[in-house]
Structure 1
Amino acid sequence: MAEIEKIIVKFLNQESNYSELEKLETFIKNEQRIQVFNNFVKTQYLSTLSMTEYDVNKAKETIKTRLKKGEQTRRVYLSKKIAVAASIMLLLGMAFYLLYDNRPVKVSEPEKQSNLIVAGTDKAILTLENGNEVALEKGKKIQTAKASSNGEELIYVDKEQNETDVKEQMYNYLTIPRGGQFFVKLSDGTEVWLNSESKLKYPVAFKDGLTRNVELIYGEAYFKVSPSEEHKGAAFHVLTKSQEINVLGTEFNVRAYNNEELISTTLVEGKINIKKGEQSKTLRPNQQARISRGSDNMDIQEIDVSQEIAWVNGLFSFNEKPLGEIMTDLSRWYDTEVVYENAKHKSFVFTGILERTETVEDILKLIEATSEGQIKFEINNKTISIK
């Protein structure tokens, strides 16, 4: 029993690994042991709340789902610790929902409109060098002279396969609509993940030995840049309307939406230099540069990068995040409009890690249930009203 108690404590402290989650799953299959699990949840994590035993059957289903999904291969760099923490937080979030759901809190019934609001998918519009537009979506294969797509990713021909010298720089654009995301591998091997409502401009092929320039016109993108030593020392630059990023073979995230005041660049691995006006600063891993539009000041902060790049791994990560910012992210991913009946609701904070495949109704119910009656959601067609 001592071993399982340690596992439960580690689980509640977000420190359990995959094998320990498997042991915990086996343990709570026994109905007589559910009380042990409940007691630990109550005393170790929810001791300040008036808690009754919640539905552990749902907890079992959640653990099983997380374990199955944990076996799938991820195509993006994220540590195992982040992935496990995400699974744990999702379960704890469900625990909170079940806890409050047992209280006499009236919850709206947005399921009636569930067919109108769906989670985002892989989709994009590719604008070719001749101006033609091609829709990229799941199940649709596209082949051009320089690139191919299976509807989930766009892959450009690498320079070894390109027999002709690049004499004139030709550009493509990849536009991601609301409710979409997409992955593109550029001709130099650089990998880019694009979030909803984003647009990237990039060369069809890079000129050998010259600086590799791409432009994030707006939106959010995660870059895994091919090292310069593989391209005769050619540097890689990412341009936005407010800054220029000089990349030295690295992984980083850029968020530069048109309707957001703040532009943030987060370094995950390697080294980047950011220029804004006369300023030039170098970031270390786990640092974020923040620039307000219309300002030349650049603020550098130490942060938890897992919060910033969770979207790349299919997650929403909210750490005491204001509801106003949360709903902005949700509205982009689920392609909805948001209406506030009281502006003060924008400042309500919420913490949780949830999968982007969850229905918007489930996410709203969780936020509503943990608000202790402060927040109410209603869905009408594709508009979410907050009361």
Structure 2
Amino acid sequence: MEDKRLKQLVQRYLDGVCTPEELAALQEILRDSAYQERLEALLGEAWQDGAEGSVPRQDERSADEILRRILAHDRQKRPIWLSRWSIAATVVLIVSISALFYLRFGAGLGDNQSVVNTPLDADPGTYKAELSYDGGKPLLLKTSQEGIVMTERGVSYIDGTGVDLSAQGKPVKESYYELRTPHGGSYQVTLPDGTHVWLNAQTTLRYPARFASDARIVMLTGEAYFDVAKKKDDNGRVVPFSVITDQQNVHVLGTEFNLKAYPDEALTTTTLIEGRVRVERPVSGESEGGAAVILSPGQEAITSGTDDGLVAREAEASIVGAWKDGLFVFNDEPLEKIMQRLSRWYDIEMSYKGGAEHIRFTGNYAMDKSLRNLLEHITLTEGIRFETVGNSANERRIIAIKD
């Protein structure tokens, strides 16, 4: 049996379309220890789903668990197509074909409710943002564009098309812009100094229409990746660039770093990719700081809203910025932390039962894929189930349950 056939059967099993005959063939193959050794690699390929890059794959424990469940599955029992009313009460999400049918048809659906209206079928995020200045009415930016470019002449999209802000009045040199992304949105901006910033979902970046000659200061809430342009003043000195958040002030000269500062998360984290940065705790919200650390590439600085500590440690820098390249990367993270990220991107709410929030997961997933498919993978490897709440198309809550 060639790897190609084994990979095909494994993928059909993971996708929930494996027939009883194919399941029997897969079980027969995997009883051979030589092919059991290939399962982990094939599961890793199936999980990556076309994503590229050096990222974690399924671990050995997950592969062993899926092997055990495939071999233990009763291939004589064909999957039963249940009514949508009975699915919510009778289908248990285990690693089997019936588990995948449950995720495909949803839980708690009324007869007139379409599957695509359930939170399990939430669409992935896309390019969405709004721009305002001086507290004026925000302008919704084009979703067909990835970002905007700020210059002294005005604002344009990346392709050079102008952004019409005439309805908001003409900004002055002292104006401050605010670029905001909602749940399920991301955007980019090139600042007046040439600094490139990627904004993740639910993020606000506040910056001046024109930077001062001796300092470049922006304010951030949420998560952003910065590629800071080097800029010199008239005397040839490099003008510092600073990012101000509630828990950290980050000062750089020219570098790449990721800064995560969501109000609903306990930790604020600055991860340095290139160059050097100084990270300090703000004093009474002012730019002058208290305790400070200087980071080298591959390090991160962490602060908590519950204490005054500032901790520097080694980071997985290649993983931290994966979101700006359209990839979720989970490295032995608890489900609660994972779903916190997913909730911003897919615009859903989460709750947990039976300690499901503590289950840990490793893998990577393309951000332009459906939520349903990602939850199927988590269910396959970790043995939990996901249920929707209510019958309303506006209900956005999913419950993760560990039995």
Q: 1:234 and 1:203 mapped to 2: Cα distance? A: 15
Counterpart amino acid of residue 243 in structure 2: V
Q: Which residue pairs with 2:365 in the alignment?
A: 354
- Post-superposition Cα deviations, 1:46-75, rounded to whole Å, max 9, x if no partner, equal 49xxxxxx899x95xx88x73xx7xxxxxx
2:319 alignment counterpart: 307
Report matched runs for 1:61-100 at 5 Å.
Answer: 66=50, 83-86=52-55, 89=57
Give the counterpart letter for 1:341 in structure 2. Answer: K
Distance 1:337 1:252, change over 3 A: same
User: How far apart, CA to CA, are the structure 2 residues paired with 1:356 and 1:41?
Assistant: 31
- Percent identical across equivalent pairs? 32
Deviates more, 1:232-241 or 1:140-149: 140-149
Q: State whether residues 94 and 366 of structure 1, in contact with CA within 8 Å, keep that contact through their aligned partners in structure 2.
A: no
Does 2:116 correspond to 1:114?
Answer: yes
- Tell me how far apart the structure 2 counterparts of residues 143 and 237 of structure 1 sit (CA, whole Å): 19
Higher RCO (CA 8 Å, separation ≥ 6 residues): 2
5 Å-filtered alignment, 1:18-37, equals none
Q: Report Cα offsets for 1:150-194 as digits up to 9, x if no partner.
A: 6x99999xxxxxxxxx98421100111001111111111000001
> Counterpart in 2 of 1:378?
387
Question: What is the identity, as a one-letter code, of the residue corresponding to 1:84?
Answer: G
Give the match for residue 72 of structure 1. Answer: none
- 1:96/1:177 CA distance change after superposition, 3 Å: farther
- Asked if 1:211 is matched to 2:211, the reply is no
Matches within 5 A, 1:261-340: 261-276=266-281, 277-340=289-352
- Give the structure 2 partner of residue 345 of structure 1: 356
Contact 1:96 1:370 in 2 (8 A): no
TM-score (norm 1): 0.70
Task: Say which is worse superposed, 305-314 or 315-324, in terms of deviation.
Answer: 305-314
Letter in 2 for 1:85: S
Alignment of 1:143-154 (within 5 A): 146-149=154-157
Residue deviations 1:179-223, cap 9 Å, x none?
11111111110000011111110112223x32000010x110000
For residues 95 and 174 of structure 1, the distance between their equivalents in structure 2, rounded to whole angstroms, comes to: 43
Paired residue secondary structure (1:228):
coil
Which secondary structure does the structure 1 equivalent of 2:312 belong to?
strand
Change (3 A) 1:101 1:366: farther
| Residues 3-46 of structure 1 deviation map (CA, whole Å, 9 limit, x = unaligned) | x99xxxxxxxxxxxxxxxxxxxxxxxxxxxxx89x977632664
Shift of the 229–363 alpha-carbon distance from structure 1 to 2, 3 Å rule, reads same
Equivalent positions of 1:100-139 (< 5 A) are 102=70, 104=73, 105=94, 106-107=98-99, 108-112=102-106, 113-116=115-118, 117-129=122-134, 131-139=136-144
The answer on whether the counterparts of 1:255 and 1:263 sit within 8 Å (CA) in structure 2 is yes
Aligned pair in 2 of structure 1 residues 282, 55: CA closer, same or farther (>3 Å)? closer
- Structure-2 residue corresponding to 1:172: 177
How far apart, in 1, do the equivalents of 2:66 and 2:190 lie? 42
- How much has 1:367 moved relative to structure 2? 0.5
Gaps of 5+ in 2: 4-28, 74-93, 107-114, 164-170, 282-288, 390-394
CA distance in 2, matches of 1:40, 1:303: 37
User: Which consecutive residues of structure 1, in runs of 5 or more, have no partner in the other structure?
Assistant: 6-34, 48-53, 70-82, 157-165
Residue type at the aligned position of 1:385:
I
Residues 351, 169 of structure 1: CA spacing in aligned structure 2 closer, same or farther, 3 A cutoff?
same
- Rounded to whole Å, the distance in 2 between the matches of 1:198 and 1:181 is 8
- How many matched pairs? 313
1:368 and 2:362 matched: no
| 2:363 alignment partner, SS class | strand
**Aligned counterparts of 2:61 and 2:143: Cα–Cα separation in 1:** 31
d(CA) in 1 for partners of 2:371, 2:311: 34
Larger Rg: 2
Give yes or no for contact 2:127–2:143 (8 Å, CA) kept in 1: yes
Q: 1:219 to 1:143 in 2, by over 3 A?
A: closer
Is 2:133–2:175's contact at 8 Å kept on the other side of the alignment? no
**Is the contact between residue 280 and residue 310 of structure 2 (CA under 8 Å) also seen in structure 1?**
no
